[in-house]
Structure 1
Amino acid sequence: MTLPVLPNIRREPFSAEGPVATSFTLLFRPLWPVIVPATEWMRSSELSARSIPDTLLEPLRIWIMDCYPQGTLVEKLIELGDGLHLPERDPLDEKEWADPLWRASQMLWVRAAEVLSRPIPPAVLEEMSEVSGLRTTSIETLLPAIQLVFAGARHFFQSRKAVVPVVPDRDDLALLLKEAAGRGITAWCFALTLLMTSRNEIDIILPTARAVAHVQPDARLWLELCDHAITGVYELFTVRCDRISREVTRIRPAERAERRVLLWLEANEQATMHALIRFAGRCSVYGAVAAELMEAVAKAAKAQFSLLVEEDRLIAWPVTAWPDSLMISFETGNRRFRQLVSLGASFSRFADYRGGIEQLVAHYMDERITGLGVAEKIHACEMLEASSSPSSLLTDYLQLLPSPARGRIFVRRDVSLTMPWSASAR
């Protein structure tokens, strides 16, 4: 195989398009927290034990995707993930197909785990070494740790839709961490970092990891790695949010055919950060790094939300009746807006988001948005408005209906208004 030279992924040069879905991003995007520039990786013995050099990613992708029988299906699912279509299968009967990008990601992770479980021929290793600038021995050391991550994808890569912290099974988690420890320090660091950045309940992750560390031959070393991992996660998220703020503020809203499929800062990532900040409130040792993260994520979340609102007002929605697939994606997008508002407001204040929501509500009620009926418009606006009382839109609509509907105005109690992390088991 011929391996092209890969640009520095971690530096992520500015792109006016923002995050886009490709087989490369779906495969490696969950690994961004443990990827650093190759120059930094080779300078630091600490980084080389806890990270993947970015120049290794493209050679790995080519090896993983070479002769992949389902590669065409993955590309088709990526095409279907643009928000305007759904797969042929019924998303109500097979919910895992309702999010084509998530399904494509799952297929890619399974493929990666299977391919990396087999020995890589020496000739391929040599070519990977030449392209990535790494020694073959370094690559051979990294591969078992990377394979472990893809094999345990269900623990590390949580669905994009839900934002409630995941409560993993303690026994399954202990087995995973024991296997990671058995593969060495690099696999252990990968596992801890990704578990903490993947919306897993930290009140379960950290005690379980420390319990596994206690039974290792050099318990003190493994326990120190636990402490380094959680501190490092705060710093990783802070750096990520600072970069997002810079990139988003350089983008000017432009007319789009549909809403963005991938965001810079997804709702579940924000939920993870909020859980970490709350955890620091109970463990004051992490107070300083948590405060820095709080400031960084508040700025990034607000910048992204403002851009999304401006883009939404420029979308050329169809003027005819909307098909079910578009309506489903529209509903999903409104729910995501609601989550971003609830989470973003937890880092700063709701007043920072009120103006954007009011702009969207006014926009959807405009007569030029002809693809939605009156009731559908009201439903969309009700979903966006974070209020504990009936909106004026609903009140006015009910006044047009005959009794007894007119007398059924009530104070809305929407469980989705509660903070998404409040449902987690303690």
Structure 2
Amino acid sequence: MNRIFLGIVLIAFGAAAWRQFGHVPAAGAKSPMEALSAAMISSAGGAVELAIGLVGVMTLFLGLMKVAEAGGLLVIIAKLIRPLMTRLFPDVPADHPAMGAMILNMSANALGLGNAATPFGIRAMQELDKLNTRPGTATNAMALFLAINTSGVTLLPTGVIAIRAAAGSADPAAILPTTLFATACSTIAAIVAAKLYQRFAPLGPADPAAAAIDRPWVREGGGADAGDASAGSGGGSGGADLAAAGRGYPLWASVLALAGIVALIPATIVWGRVVSPWILPGLMVGFLLFGALRRVAVYEVFVDGAKEGFQVALRIIPYLVAILVAVGMFRASGALDAMVGFLGGFTARFGLPAEALPMALLRPLSGSGAYGVMAAIIQDPATGPDSYVGYLVTTLQGSTETTFYVLAVYFGAVQVRRMRHALAAALTADVVAVIATVAICSWLFG
């Protein structure tokens, strides 16, 4: 990450400096270096605003997750998909709370609830860090989890459907099959890439300086030793309930649950627009009712879990400032426009026209930037949401993730500085997602 961060900043500075030398002053127009300076300041402020904006949703969903955990929902889910998860994550005990947190994160992403997925993902990283023998260094499980997270299968891209509807689309939910296909391909690519790349990225020796990192999520769970012990015993922060998870449910139960998920695919195509407004309220009511039925003091437990939201938001601010300032400089310097101009003629031959290329390039870097490009394209009367380019950019928005943002937030939450192969695996999945999006949109709408 050190090299990537420095490389983006240096490229942006070099591009702006080159343009500055040939700049002709004009009344009311900023020079390239002035635009670069303004982008740095606005991006830094935007990063803090983004972190503050996350406080509320993190507080809400970390509280709900605490209720679910206290009621034993994480144990139930972990037992249900144990056959698959234990094969994907052999280093994580099947009954460890990290399993349940990862599953809830993936479930929220599958429903297009990106903000809801973030608290679950941060909790999963904290639980995975309890098993980490190299503080400050990403484990294989962390890298695989984030690779899947940045490419997770989306059954219901609710936000993009709403955007298409607002832009006047005759069929806002038409991107459901294209999104599902693209994310399925990228998720398979993420898993294969993470498993393959980990062979070339060893953990390396322990860093004495990293060992001194303050890890309150480990200390509050009983310390590093307790966390390691829980890896073998099934204990840890989940307590006796997690220890009771045992060997999990029978294989037929897991297969039946998977079949139910697959059955949701046609349901999302038919009833997606009707169901989407119910998801968030239903999630909250379902978690609280589950806790109440399991005799959990839902209010007290919710408040206890919600307290973590403020601490997490403060912890990730420096990481967000760093990556968002670098991305803002890259855009303001003109380097992104130059890249589009250079690649646009080539990618157009393969179904990715120049007007959609900025979307593909920006999506891993900046969620707001990609959103702006998508909105501008589908609101343009000459293009619209129901053209080939409209379907293409909205599928990209719904099927790919802001990779650098996810890595900055999740690794920042557990103070991991050496991410090993996580970025390479995530970017591989991003490339596959773009290829799959072009392929499926060309077939259906080209």
Q: TM-score, normalised by structure 1?
A: 0.30
